[in-house]
Amino acid sequence: MTAYYWFIICETIRHFRKNNGTLLASALTYQGLLSFIPFLLLIFLLLGKYIMSSDVVFLNFKKTISLFLPYSQDIIIKEARKLYIAEDHWSIASIAVCVWFTFPLVNGLKTLFSSVFKEKINRSFLRELASDVLSTFILMFLLVFLVLGEVIYIEIIKPIIKDINAYFDLIDVTGNFVLTLSGLILFYYLFIPVKVKLKHIVAGASLTAIAWIALRPSFAFLMHINPQMGFVFGSLKAIFVVFFWVYMYFYVLILGVELTASCSQIRLIAVESLLSLRTSKPGAKALARFTLSLRDGLPIYDKGVQADSFYYVVSGLVSLIEDGQPQVQKMSGDTFGVQEMLCNSTRAKTAVAKSDDVIIFPVHSNEFKALEKINPLIPLMIIKNHLIPVEKNKKSNPL
C-alpha cells in the first residue's frame, strides 16, 4: 500500500515537471494580477450594495482578498470602493471591458486543466467567448461562496464553539480548512474538463488547501527572519512580495491539480511507465492493485478467444502454446498478445504461466488508445514493432 501511494507522489512530481509547472505558475501569476482588479470591480458593481451594507460582510470580503494579495488589500479595496461610488458613470462598454480583462486568468486556468488532463476542447469563437464569460462568473461565485462561508462561520458557528475552550483553536483551524477545501473542491469540479471521481478531486484539493493554510504563517516567518527580503528592488519591494506570494499560491494549486490527475489516471500512468523506455520501472508492490498473480500451469487465455487486451510481464515466465507445443517464452519486461489486439482478432496461441511467481499487467484496448494523450510515442512504437512486421509478412507470403 505504501509503495502504491509513493508511486502516485513520484508520478505527480514527474508530471509537474513534464508539464512545466513552474512556467504555468509564472504565467498564471501574471494573468492573475492582470485580471484581479477588473475581476474585483465586477464583484463590486454587481454585489456592492450587499458588501457595503454590512460591516461583517465587508470585513470578511477584505479578509478573503488578503488571502490572495496580502499587504495590498487595503489599497485595492479603497480604490474599488471609489469606483463603486461612481457606478452611475459606468457604461455597458466599461463593464464589457472589465469582463474582457478577466479572460487572461480564465484562459490561463483552462489551459492549466487541459494541459494536465491532456484534454483539448475545440470550440467555435462564439462558444469559446460564452465559455470565458461563464467561467468569469463561476470564479466570482466561488469568491462570494468563500466570503459567505466565512460570514456563516464567524457569525453562527464560532459563537457556538467558543465555549469549548480546550478545543477551540483546533476547531477554528479545522473550520478554516473545511471552508477552503469546500471552495477548492467546487473549483476543481467546475474546471476539470473530464469526468473525475470525487475522492480524487478531494485528494488534490486537500493538498492545495493544506499548503495554502500553511503558506501564510510560513511566509510571515520568512519575512520575520529575513526582513530585507526584496530589498534589492528598493521602492518596488511590495510589488516583488505580492508577485512572490501569488506565484506560490498558483504553484501549490498546480501541484494539487497534478495530484488529482495522477490519482484519476494512475492505471494509465502505470501502463505508460511500463511500456516507455524509462530505466526506472514501478515495482510489483506499486502495481499490486492492477496486476494478476498466477502460479505455474494456470492459463492466462485460450486459443480462439476474442482479443481485447495484451499483457506486460512484470515477473516470472509465460509460455505461448500452439497445438500443445510451447512456441515462445516471455519473461519480465516482455509483452504478449499485442498483435491479436491490434488486429481485433482471436488469440492465435494459448498463454500459460510457467513459474510460480508470474505477475502480469493486462492492458485493455481502450487504455492503449488513451495512451496517445499521455505519450503518443508508445502506441506508435508498439504498432511499429508488432503490427507492421505482420503486414509485411502477409505481403511477402500471399495465399
pLDDT at 9: 92
pLDDT tens digits, 224-274: 777 666 566 666 666 777 788 889 989 999 999 999 999 999 988 888 888
Give whichever of 235-239, 360-364, 374-378 has the largest mean pLDDT: 360-364
pLDDT tens digits, 72-86: 667 767 766 676 666
SS3 content of the chain, % helix, strand, coil (to 5): 70, 10, 20
pLDDT tens digits, 281-321: 676 678 888 889 999 989 999 999 999 999 999 889 999 98
Cα distance from N-terminal residue to C-terminal residue, the chain:
53
Q: Which residue has the higher pLDDT, 255 or 342?
A: 255
pLDDT tens digits, 137-159: 888 888 777 777 767 766 666 66
CATH of 279-396, one of 3.10.28.10, 2.60.120.10, 3.90.79.10, 3.90.1860.10: 2.60.120.10
Strand segments, DSSP code E, in 288-395 are: 292-294, 299-301, 309-315, 318-322, 325-330, 335-336, 350-353, 358-364
For the chain, where do the domains classified as CATH 2.60.120.10 start and end? 279-396
Segment 96-121 mean pLDDT: 88
Sheet of 335-336: strands edge to edge? 292-294, 358-364, 309-315, 335-336
Supply φ then ψ for residue 393, to 5 degrees.
-65, -40
Q: Give the helix/strand (H/E) hosting 331.
A: none
Distances (CA, A) of 128 to 135, 136, 190, 312: 10, 12, 16, 42
Cell of 78: 479603497
Among residues 310, 308, 316, which one has the least CA distance to residue 362? 310
Please tell me the distance from the alpha carbon of residue 369 to that of residue 239, in angstroms, as a whole number: 47
What does pLDDT average to over the chain?
81
Please classify residue 265 by burial: count the beta carbons closer than 10 Å to its beta carbon, then call 0-12 exposed, 13-18 middle and 19+ buried.
Answer: buried
